[in-house]
Amino acid sequence: MKKPELAAAIASKAEVTKEKASEILNIITDEITNAICQNEAVTLIGFGTFSQRERSARTGKNPQTGQTIQIPASKTAGFKPGKALKDACNKS
């Protein structure tokens, strides 16, 4: 499912226009992004937790040349699913 499809599903269930649902979805993703960038975790009970994760510097390999390269430390977004989401995915 892509973002426009998600917005359409929200629109039909919440009985709002697709444009309004898309606007709401953009606001939600922007706020999650802002919180993660400020190193704040965003927890949606039953769904999961978005957080910032640190990747340490490491040695890698250029796949084209096989040459060893140094990959610098970086920050990335992480997601840990909640119990309700795990349970929903594991239903038979």
Domain of 78 in residue numbering reads as 39-92
The residue written with tokens 């795990």 in the block is: 86
Alpha-carbon span 88 to 85, nearest angstrom: 5
Closest CA to 76 of 53, 58, 57: 53
Same domain, 87 and 57: yes
The predicted model scores a pTM of 0.80
Same domain, 5 and 34: yes
Q: What is the CATH number of the domain that holds 56?
A: 4.10.520.10
**Element of type H or E holding 67:** none
Confidence of residue 91 (pLDDT cuts 50, 70, 90): confident
29-74: per-residue pLDDT in tens?
Answer: 999 999 999 999 999 999 999 999 999 999 999 999 999 999 999 9
